[in-house]
Amino acid sequence: MNKLRNLLFEPCISDVSYDFLEQSKLYSYQAKEYSERLHAVMSSEYFMRNISQHSYEMGFCEEFELLNTQELAPLAEALHQLNQLRISQRNYKSDEHISLQELSHFLQLSYSITQHYDPAMLIPPRRNIPSGGGLYPIDVYLINQHIEKLPIGIFLYDIFSFKLKLIHKFSSAEDLNQNLNKSLFTHQKNDIAYAHASAFIILGAELERSCFKYLNRGIRWAMIEAGEITQAMYLASASLELASCAIGGFDDESMARLIGYKHPSQVTLLALSLGKGI
């Protein structure tokens, strides 16, 4: 018991790890230079071809053909088709937006409880996403821009009650626009049709949920989990014929303040735009 008590009070994230998190942040004053760097890489056919198609050089190895001629079972075929449809879509319809029903389906398919708590077996609630130690350090936030029946604001997705909890309501569309510009650099970038997106998803990590058990290594599991949720959201978008695109370029501090984060162990890892594809 004393050992467990000490675990709850001892620092679980080192200063070096906090330094890494700080160094990996993006700030508004860096946005222009960062965007120019991305554009330079993306616009180079040479770089994109050689980087994306490169694999680790193993030298001479004996090779074995993999088989892909056998028909897939129905569920496997459905997953195969979804994987073929999975794509980042950056342009959205300006005159049509996703409904609350579609958003509900999207969240249910992306991130949901698959097995509830069993007190007899001491099994914690399980979700459709694997998590190191079943600790689930990632929280999902929604910034509503055009979804009807929801106020323009920021919501926490409560996976247990399957409800959206309003944590901040914007006074107007202009107020939302100003905050999106501060956090997502919407006025400085033209890579995504931000104004036409129905909503934005923010994946935030409470790192101490994972690190109190795994120490610094828990940061890895949180980042991996954010990637797993993002992939699930892409597949959900494909299945519902919605459009989505992951966003890695945002002002970390501004985004953290937007969703109410205050402690250094609370970090925003990824954003995602969501709308009706063109």
Q: Tens of pLDDT along 108-164?
A: 999 999 988 777 766 778 899 999 999 999 999 999 999 999 999 999 999 999 999
| Model confidence at 1: pLDDT above 60 | no
| Model confidence at 188: pLDDT above 90 | no
Residue 55 lies in a domain: no
Return the HEC string of the chain: CHHHHHHHHCCCCCHHHHHHHHHCCCCHHHHHHHHHHHHHHHCCHHHHHHHHCCCCCCCCCCCCCCCCCCCCCHHHHHHHHHHHHCCCCCCECCCCCCCHHHHHHHHHHHCCEEECCECCCCECCEECCCCHHHCCCEEEEEEECCCCCCCCEEEEEECCCCEEEEEEECCCHHHHHHHHHHHHCCCCCCCCCHHHCCEEEEEEEEHHHHHHHHHHHHHHHHHHHHHHHHHHHHHHHHHHCCEEEEECCCCHHHHHHHCCCCCCCEEEEEEEEEECEC
Residue 184 lies in a domain: yes
Residue 95 lies in a domain: yes
What's the whole-number average pLDDT of the chain? 93
Give pLDDT, residue 7: 66
Residue 228 lies in a domain: yes
Residue 56 lies in a domain: no
Query: Which residue range is the domain that position 154 belongs to?
Result: 89-278
Give pLDDT, residue 173: 96
Residue 94 lies in a domain: yes
* Overall number of domains in the chain: 1
| Model confidence at 264: pLDDT above 90 | yes
How confident is residue 8, by pLDDT bands cut at 50, 70 and 90? Answer: low
Residue 78 lies in a domain: no
Instruction: Considering only residues 32 and 225, tell me which one the structure prediction assigns the higher pLDDT.
Output: 225
- Residue 278: CATH number of its domain: 3.40.109.10
Residue 19 lies in a domain: no
Region 231-257: mean pLDDT is 97
